[in-house]
Amino acid sequence: MPNSYFKFKQFTINQGKCAMKVCTDACILGAWFSHKIPQDGMVLDIGAGTGLLMMMLAQRSQSGIHGFEIDPAAYAQCQDNIGQNDWQERLTVFHGDARDFQSPFKYDFIISNPPFFESDLHSASDQEKIAKHSTHLTLEELIRVMDTNLKPDGSFGILLPYHRWEYFDQLARRQNFSLKEQLVVKQSPKHTPFRSILHYTRAKVHFATTHHLTIQEIDRVYTPEFVEMLKDYYLYL
């Protein structure tokens, strides 16, 4: 059973009320984009959950960061979490359906770890269904929400199963977004890729840059690349 909290170097995530707990791939998502977001702009996290990504991005920037969460229990937990750190004045979470959200201003960057198991078996509880599956927010709808709320020169980042990134790329291109760079993640040298982190912009990009990250060596020790990426966050790195 997962712990009810996850302690990082500069903040703690309480997660007992959330269906989606802190996981390694979400931490990679936050750490990778923490160097890429505007240092003094406005950022939106769609599907904020515990508030993990909001706080990871806030730790390395001075940007104002908003979150949006549909599940009432996760929203309440996120509110508690973002109110217990040094950046709480820059963090705000809203409750509701992202498909209905239209900000009075546009964001410089949007990030999302969406419910992406669209074709897999559904979870037992309604809360898990919302958190893990695309029944409440499809990827096509997510792109439209991003398009509506993003500045013309803004960009967005998303975490997906590796086998679904090409499908998502087709959807994004139809909405006139271009893939700028991709981080391909695998568990160890003997494993195939299992996650893809994508960075999109409206500017035309003819050749996207592809990066690779392996989490562990064969002996299950973290790779130097993983340690470098997460050392400012993970308590024991």
Could you tell me if 200 and 228 are in contact, meaning their C-beta atoms sit under 8 angstroms apart?
no
Residue type, 72: P
Question: Quick one: pLDDT band at residue 180, thresholds 50, 70, 90?
Answer: very high
Query: Tell me: the pLDDT tens digits for 197-225?
Result: 999 999 999 999 999 999 999 999 999 99
Q: Is residue 235 assigned to a domain?
A: no
Query: Tell me: the pLDDT tens digits for 95-140?
Result: 999 898 888 889 999 999 997 644 443 344 444 443 343 457 899 9
How many domains does the chain fold into?
A: 1
Check which CATH number belongs to the domain holding 183 and give it. Answer: 3.40.50.150
Query: Tell me: the pLDDT tens digits for 57-67?
Result: 999 999 999 99
Give the chain's mean pLDDT. 90
Q: What does the alpha-carbon distance between residue 89 and residue 46 come to, in Å, rounded to a whole number?
A: 19
Could you tell me if 30 and 53 are in contact, meaning their C-beta atoms sit under 8 angstroms apart?
yes
Q: Is residue 236 assigned to a domain?
A: no
Residues 210-223: b if buried by 16+ CB within 10 A, e if exposed: eeebbbbeeeeebe
DSSP 8-state class, residue 74: H
Q: Is residue 155 assigned to a domain?
A: yes
What is the model's pTM?
Answer: 0.90
Expressed as residue numbers, the domain containing 86 is 5-230
